[in-house]
Each structure stands twice: as C-alpha cells, then as structure tokens.
Chains A and B, each alone.
Chain A
Amino acid sequence: MIDEQLTNKGNPLTFIDTVKTGNHIVLFYEELEYARILEFRFLGNGLMKGEHALYISDSDVTFIENEMEGAGIDVSSVKKNNLLNIFSTSDPNDVDALAIMHRFVDKMTVEVQSPYRVVSKPFRNVSTVDGILAQLETERYWHAKFGTMRCALLCSHYVKQIEDNRRGKWISELLKLHHGAIFAPDFGKGLGYYKDNH
C-alpha cells in the first residue's frame, strides 16, 4: 500500500502534468516509446492552454507528427493555428538544433510573447567527451538565461547514448543544471521530482 503511494507520488506521468512555465527539466529514458509519451503529454498540456510548442529531434518530421496524432494531439489544428513547430536535425536544412532553438526563442520573445514549451534532444553528440562537454556548456547557458524566458523546457536524453566511461559524472552534471528531473527506465517505473528549492 505504502509502496503504491510512493510510486504514485513520484510517477513520471503524474509529474509531467505539473511541469509549467519556468521549469527546466531533464528527462533520462531507456525506452524511446515511454519517452515519447512523456514528451508529447508535456507539449499537449501546453497546447491545450494555447501555448506554443517546439519539438526538436533527429526523427523524421512526418513520423513525429503521426506519433503526436497517436498520442492525442490534433496536429493539423495546432499547426493551422501556428502553435506547433517540429524540427528534425536529420533534415540537411535544419541540422543545427542549437540555432533552431535560438531562432525559436527569439521569435517567441520578440513576436509572440506568450508562454511556450520546448522538447529537445541533445544539441550535440553526447556519446563523446567533447560532445557531452559542449552539451553541458549549452545547458549552462540556457539554465542561466531561464529566468528571462517564458518557457518550459524538457531536455530529453537517451541514457545509453551518454558517453559511458564517465556517465555517472555527466548525469550528475546534467542534474545540477536543471530544476528537476524525470527518470523513465521503463513503463510504470521511474521518478519525477523538483529540487527542494524550486
């Protein structure tokens, strides 16, 4: 009984519904399908409130749109209202995820000025030491800037992709650069939480 109560309290699916503007959250996942459920629910919660959404990954845009539809997001409607932007870093025209993010944030700040949500896969190849160090620098930049943004940002990491010789250190560093975290190892398991002072 108490086990069940504890599990519900930290359940990633329950937690994701509490994430709002001003939260910078890191997601560590081992099952891509589970990660997508959490990512789309996070964006869907914002879209329902009229917030803008940006999704950056290395997957094909049409594929992501179909997956979002399957998750209950009315993609054609939100696209028609210019609320949803999806970018693929596998698209030769949009390979620089960081530049995409900068453009989007500038647009939201200058033109739209309404709250927005971003889901982003790592900007760098985090399977190398140089890549993860560059990613940490980027995270540091965004985290420091966060107070000036009307944004909720979910940084989504496939755990096994993170450089493995010092993976524990990199995870520790990433945790320090976010307001909270979600660990999503498998369906029905995991933990979502905010740090004490946030």
Chain B
Amino acid sequence: MDERKIVDIVDSVMTDWLGRTVWQSLKYHIAEVHNFNANKPNEMVEGSESFEKLLTELLGTGAKLIFRQINQKLVELFQILDSAEFEYSALGDYSKLIEVSRNSDSKSDVKKIGLKNNDR
C-alpha cells in the first residue's frame, strides 16, 4: 500500500469539509507541534494519531463526520485493492492498516489488529 494514496484521500476529504486554506494550515500546524514532516506521506500516516487527537479535540462532533467519510473512502480503496471489508475507528489506525496490507491481504489479519467490521 502506498501511503501517498491514503494521504491523498485524507487531503481530499479534509479539503471538502474544511476548505483548502484551513486544512493546509491545520495540517502544518499539527505536524509542527508533533515534530513530523507534513510533506512526507509516510510521516503523515505515522503521525495520524496526533491528527486524530487534535482534530477530535478541536472539531468535536465535526471530526466524527469527517473521519466517517475518510473511512468510507479508504474502505472503497481497499476493496478495489481486493483487501478485506472493514471499518476502523479513526485516523489513528491508518499506520496499522498499512502494516497489515504490506504483510498480508487476509481478512483475518485485518481483524487481528482490532479493526472493526464494517457495520453499514
């Protein structure tokens, strides 16, 4: 799995909801505070727990809406890649997801790391 694809999806959804200027500003702010490079997809994905935490704190219920839509898009992406059907709680699971997708494409492995079944 290419981290770039995940970052592109996150960027696209965030831009739709918050606007390009707000999202870019918040992204670089969070990356600076948590000391990672927002221009490097692997660092962005690894820093996803920081995003989840701060965006949840700042956006409250709004964050849940955004995360749900990101999850939907990622589910679509992984289905296209013939991966398992799943829904994970929020941004913080992206790095685990990538790790699993690198090592295995089986549904059981995805479940092992605690990702919830898609309950739509």
How large, as a class, is the contact surface on chain A? 20 to 34
Chain B contact residues (Cβ within 8 angstroms of A): what range? Answer: 20 to 34
Interface status of A146 (Cβ within 8 A of chain B): no
Which A residues between 156 and 191 are near B, CB-CB below 8 angstroms?
Answer: 159-160, 164, 166-169, 171-172, 175-176, 180-181, 183-186, 189-191
Is B111 close to A, CB under 8 A? no
| With known contacts A3-B72, A193-B65, A181–B59 Cβ distance under 8 A | yes
For residue A9, CB closer than 8 A to chain B, the reply is yes
Q: Within 8 Å of chain A (Cβ to Cβ): is B96?
A: no
In the assembled complex, which residues on chain A have CB atoms less than 8 Å from the CB atom of B21? Answer: 30, 159-160, 167, 185
B65 to chain A, nearest CB (A): 5
List, in ascending order, chain B residues with CB within 8 A of A183's CB: 17-19, 22
The yes or no answer to A28 lying at the interface (CB within 8 A) is yes
| In contact, A2 and B29 (Cβ under 8 angstroms) | no
- Residues of chain A within 8 A of B18, CB atoms compared: 28, 183, 185, 190-191
Contact across chains for B68 and A6 when beta carbons are under 8 A apart: yes
In the assembled complex, the CB of A135 is this many whole angstroms from the nearest CB of chain B, namely 16
Q: Mark A9-41, 1 if CB is under 8 A from B, else 0.
A: 110000000000000000010100000000000
Q: Does B34 reach chain A (CB closer than 8 Å)?
A: no
Q: Mark B47-86, 1 if CB is under 8 A from A, else 0.
A: 0000000100011111001101100100000000000000
Which residues of B lie under 8 Å from residue A186 when comparing CB positions?
19
Is A2's CB under 8 angstroms from B120's CB? yes
Determine whether the beta carbon of A185 is less than 8 Å from that of B60: no
Q: Which residues of B contact A175 (CB under 8 A)?
A: 58-59
Quick check: B58 and A172 within 8 Å, CB to CB?
Answer: yes
Q: Are A194 and B19 in contact (CB under 8 A)?
A: no
B residues engaging A (CB < 8 A)?
15-22, 25-30, 32, 54, 58-62, 65-66, 68-69, 72, 120
